[in-house]
Amino acid sequence: MLNLIMKLIVCPIILIISANLLTNVNFPNVYQPIIIGLTLAVVGFLMEIAILQKGTFWISNTVDFVISALIIYFLSYFFAGADVTMGGALITAALLTVIEFFVHLWLIKSGRARKEPSL
């Protein structure tokens, strides 16, 4: 659960930072990157539950990168005035993936990524 809370804070912040620093990521209203960031956090959390284990570290990071880029790029079309190029989405997804790299390491090393056997 700590992982979800961390994602709910970090993902919108990364999108806001990207929108302010990158010329190819533009959100005219502050709520737009927050909504996309919250969506990324929930989807990322669910993907970690489904995929992340000790043997799937790199697969999980790769899937996170691809899904994040697609969500950022396509979800921006639903906001009036938002303009995100594929390059901007890829750079922003790369920033998120760098953070996810360390979060995934922490989850695996702390044993929080273990899958419990179902009855």
* Residue 119, in any domain of the structure: no
Total Cβ atoms within 10 A of residue 81? 10
pLDDT tens column, 31-90: 999 999 999 999 999 998 888 888 888 999 999 999 999 999 999 999 999 999 999 999
**The predicted structure's pLDDT at residue 104:** 86
User: Among 25, 8, 4, which Cα is nearest to 69's?
Assistant: 25
Q: For residue 26, list its beta bridge partners.
A: 83
* Residue 93, in any domain of the structure: yes
* Residue 11, in any domain of the structure: yes
- Measured CA to CA in angstroms, residue 59 lies from 19, 21, 23, 51 at distances of 28, 29, 30, 8
**The predicted structure's pLDDT at residue 67:** 96
* Residue 34, in any domain of the structure: yes
Q: Report how many domains make up the chain.
A: 1
> Within a 13 Å sphere around the CA of 23, how many CA atoms are in the beta-carbon half?
0
End-to-end CA distance of the chain: 22
* Residue 115, in any domain of the structure: no
Q: Which residue has the higher pLDDT, 98 or 53?
A: 98
Q: Is the pLDDT of residue 119 over 90?
A: no
* Residue 36, in any domain of the structure: yes
What domain range is 30 assigned to?
2-110
* Residue 116, in any domain of the structure: no
Whole-prediction pTM value?
0.88
Rounded average pLDDT over 18-26: 93
**The predicted structure's pLDDT at residue 108:** 85
